[in-house]
Structure 1
Amino acid sequence: MKHRFARWLHLTAMMAVLLPAITLFAPAVFDPLAPPAMADDDDDDDDSDDNGGSAGASGGERSGGGETQGNRVNRSGTPLINLFRQRPDRTAARSAEPALPLQAPDEIIATGIDASALATLTTEGYAIAERQVLSVLDGEVVRLILPSGTGLNEAQARIGEIAPTAETDVNHFYRPEQTAEDGGCADGTCPLVRNLIGWPEAPLLTEDRCGPLPRIGMIDTAINPDHDALRSARLTVIGIGDGSLPASSRQHGTAVAALLVGAKDSRAPGLLPGSELIAVDAFRRVSKRADLASAFDLVKALDILASREVRVINLSLSGPTNRLVERTIARLVDNRTIIVAAVGNHGPKAPPLYPAAYAGVIAVTAIDRRFGVFRRANQGPHVDIAAPGVNVWTAASVAGARPKTGTSFAAPFVSAAAALLLARDPGLGPQEVKTALSAMTRDIGLPGKDPVFGWGVLEAQGLCADHAIGRE
């Protein structure tokens, strides 16, 4: 009995020494609960490739992988057994981080302020940080820095006193709409999601069949034009910063651009590989955690695209409502520009996000490969149409490709569909395009237009069919 007790004490002492070391390394080596590598808003361009994955030579929207759904595997394919299933509380760590700001704390943006009113404001301590003449608004937009101790509401009231016709708002921030959500196909079995909606194969998207494709615009983060999928693309990237602020990361913008116009023979083939794409980088890196675009820069970016005569604009971003952004978008819609926006990933009970919820904008939600709504997608009466947005195979920031998830990646399907409708009939306006798209959907929610799927899921089989018949 004494020997057994002594042996038990000896084993207990050994475990007291070894257990901390084992648990220190176990989460990193064995953790089966860690999600597969998905596109997210990391501050390091770590999505450089799918590490071979399961894409094969043809590419397509599916998951790369070196993991099973259960335990991780080593290089030989043997599952590694996790003896210690406890893992660091990453959610708690994220919640401890300070929340990202919704607007610049001491800035007002305004239009309709004349020289006399600006002079008065400067004598009162307001500083003109930036001013820009915008053709789409037929006037100048000014970004003002408030005097120390002056609140945003107080500043807006003061500007209203000395410039009654001015339109003002705070300088809100907007974010790309992607997430690290696991779409459930880390085992490499994701189908090509464009096939779920019958997207025409690239050889069928010819000018002879569909008509000349219009110029497409997008406002997003930075793009890697040297990516294999974009090297030969008809791509123009325009930056609007002066270099004084940290540049935005390239994951999101590169992924959206490749999804639209990626080379058909690359690992990230695009929906419309022959289209011309004008991309404006309106974002800046903030706190090494996220990319944000201000309302002032968003308005400038929209004006740039208007000056390039872009007919379709893809906005895979969202944020609060803003008077100047709303006015700019309303002007563009009046000028027959088709604007497509992601509804956002803040959850079904979240309030509407903008610009998707503005009148005249086509608001796009995301579905998975089982035609279920993406669980984090915003909902509401403004939702117009659904498209694939979970595990969409597209370009990584440096090279190769990865699956991406979020309403950001559903919006390009509808932007591309709108472009094909305009190729068939360039005279269509925003409401006519909306009507045409509503007729090209599968109603999978409540009968008629509903707040989850809108009109339903886009069905793309007939996008060029009528035009082709008309030419025969």
Structure 2
Amino acid sequence: MMRRPRPLLAAAMLLALPAAAAAQLVPPLGGVVGRTLSGVAQTLSPVEATLSDARSLAREQLRRVRDLARRYPDRIEIDRAGDAVRAGELVVVDPDDTVVAAAQAQGFRLIAREDLGDLGIGYARFRTPQGQSVDRALPRLRALAPGREVSADPLHFPGGALGTTTLAMAAPPAAPGGARIGLIDGGVRAGTPGLIRQQAFAAGAPQPNDHAAAIASLLTGGGGIRASAPGAALLVADVYGSDPAGGNAVAIARALAWLTREQVPVAVVSLVGPANPLLARVVAAARRRGTIVVAAVGNDGPAAPPAYPASYPQALAVTGVDARGRPLIEAGRATKLDYAAPGADLLALDRNGRARSVRGTSFAAPFVAARLAAHLPDLDRALAALDREAQRGGRATGRGILCADCRTPPR
């Protein structure tokens, strides 16, 4: 049986593709890629530019992961599957006192134990015995916790990148008072339009970063960026802060539990990582209590393993399209695809309030979240309304393209 490419290798495979092989790049996109490539003889440079952008995103992710693991070997390790995980840490879902005691007796040190409030889910974090890697310690802890879900704590990475600085026309954002939307990412600066609360879920948080600022600006505007959810109230959960191992599954689970307690109906998660049992449970429980995750599928290409949290059944999975409605050639995949939205040929703000070009499925997710929030509180009716709004774009756009006119084009 042919093995799927490991997450860290998926980007490497994209980097290795020559422009001439673009026809083999994205089988699931079928006719879209075929129509694009049919005009190569007449307009080769746009295709080359698209592939260059895709390779740049993939190269940046590879570089970042490898650099983090090299610089912080005591905080980050690469597991057998090729995923970046918290070094020397394992997580047990819903442990009882017997499991905790058995683990401690075998040299596992309890780091933290927490119940995630009304979600009815608990977890314990353990340090592996001295000198043992995550891969070596994992089967030992599973044997000590029969019937429990035991895993590493994988890191999640942004599904997009910011490019050059571009001028934007000044436009005042709407005052908060509309829908409540949660953002799980990095921090944003004080004065971000619509910001009503910001919570820390990592060391050094809240700390503004460019990716989170861009997502926030696509929702609530400011600095010349058009708001897709004008007047929305933002609750921001910073899961990165200054922690090299930020963006881990535990931090995202805790952040989502917080947004659920705050009765925030929509949570944007433009981050990508592997499947994790704790986060899967929390995403499902949050939706049952009225908070739905809208997640990007990432930019590792369609040959990569399914991206999470987008692939959890209870989340809405979002991909990106360019200004002509064509799926991004570097877009990752999910076990199911719900919608597409603009993910290229647009501007967003960085953490310093400057308008910059952006590209990636990250930037499509807030547009879908904005349209969903506009139709709530009844989720079933809201999803039906989105289906009616969605512009059909082929299988590679799920149930269709939303908010196609929400982008702020580069000038």
State the TM-score, normalized to the length of structure 1.
0.63
User: How many Å separate the matches in 1 of 2:300 and 2:57?
Assistant: 19
Q: Quickly say closer, same or farther: Cα 1:268–1:321, change in 2 above 3 A.
A: same
- What CA distance in whole angstroms lies between the structure 2 residues aligned with 1:394 and 1:354? 24
Partner residue in 1 for 2:239: 282
Q: Does 1:344 align with 2:298?
A: yes
Distance in 2 (alpha carbons) for counterparts of 1:105 and 1:301: 21
Pairwise CA distance, 1:152: 3.5
Q: How does 1:260-339 map to 2 (within 5 A)?
A: 260-263=219-222, 266-285=223-242, 292-339=246-293
**Distance (Å, rounded) in 1 between the aligned partners of 2:234 and 2:228:** 12
Give the superposition deviation at 1:311: 0.5
Out of 231, 252, 274, the residue aligned to residue 211 of structure 2 is 252
Query: Larger C-alpha radius of gyration, 1 or 2?
Result: 1
Question: Equivalent of 2:187, from 203, 222, 245?
Answer: 222
Task: State the shift of 1:345 in Å.
Answer: 0.7
User: Is the Cα contact below 8 Å between 1:174 and 1:319 reproduced in 2?
Assistant: yes
100-109 or 313-322, which deviates more: 100-109
Mean alpha-carbon deviation: is it higher for 133-142 or for 313-322?
133-142
Does 2:201 align with 1:240? yes
Question: Could you say which residue in structure 2 is the equivalent of 1:133?
Answer: 115
Relative distance call for 1:419 and 1:206 in structure 2 (3 A) is: farther
Partner of 1:107: 89
1-side partners of 2:326 and 2:57: how far apart? 27
Equivalent residue in structure 2 for 1:385, among 330, 335, 339: 339
Quote the RMSD (CA, aligned, Å).
Answer: 3.5
- Decide whether the 8 Å contact of 1:364 with 1:383 is kept in 2: yes
Q: Secondary structure at the match of 1:268?
A: coil
Question: CA separation in 2, counterparts of 1:392 and 1:332?
Answer: 31
Identity of aligned residues (%): 29
Q: 1:359-370 residue pairs with structure 2 within 5 A?
A: 359-370=313-324
**Deviation string, structure 1 residues 178-231 (Cα, Å, up to 9, x no partner):** 13579xxx999x9xxxxxxxxxx999x999xxxx843111100121124xxx2x
Partner amino acid, structure 1, of 2:215: V
Q: Aligned partners of 2:101 and 2:345: how far apart in 1?
A: 53
Match of 1:455 in 2: 399
Q: 1:110 to 1:248 in 2, by over 3 A?
A: farther
Query: Is contact 2:158-2:271 (8 Å) kept?
Result: yes
Name the CA distance, whole Å, in 1 between partners of 2:398 and 2:109: 45
Shift of 1:356: 0.5
Q: CA deviation at 1:139?
A: 4.0
**2: CA distance between counterparts of 1:342 and 1:236?**
23
- Structure 2 matches for 1:39-58, cutoff 5 A? none
Aligned partner of 2:370 among 402, 411, 416: 416
Asked if the contact 1:338–1:418 (Cα under 8 Å) also holds between the matched residues in 2, the reply is no
User: Is 2:126 the counterpart of 1:144?
Assistant: yes
Indicate the SS of the match to 1:301. helix
The one-letter amino acid paired with 1:457 is: I
- The answer to whether the aligner puts 1:441 opposite 2:406 as a matched pair is no
2: CA distance between counterparts of 1:240 and 1:416?
A: 24
Q: 1:389 to 1:303 in 2, by over 3 A?
A: same
Deviation at 1:247, TM superposition (A): 7.3
**Alignment partners' CA distance in 2, 1:258 and 1:168:** 37
Question: What's the CA shift for 1:378?
Answer: 1.3
Q: How does 1:196-215 map to 2 (within 5 A)?
A: 213-215=178-180
Q: What letter is aligned with 2:391?
A: R
Q: Distance in 2 between matches of 1:90 and 1:300?
A: 28
With over 3 angstroms needed to count, the CA separation of the structure-2 counterparts of 1:146 and 1:305, relative to structure 1, is same
TM-score norm. by structure 2 comes to: 0.72
TM-superposition CA deviations, 1:365-392 (whole Å, max 9, x none): 1111111111111135511111011132
Mapped contact 2:213–2:351 kept (Cα < 8 A): yes
CA distance in 1, matches of 2:195, 2:325: 33
Structure 1 residue 117: Cα displacement? 2.5
Which structure would you say has the larger RCO, counting Cα contacts within 8 Å and 6 or more residues apart? 1
Give the structure with the larger helix fraction.
Answer: 2
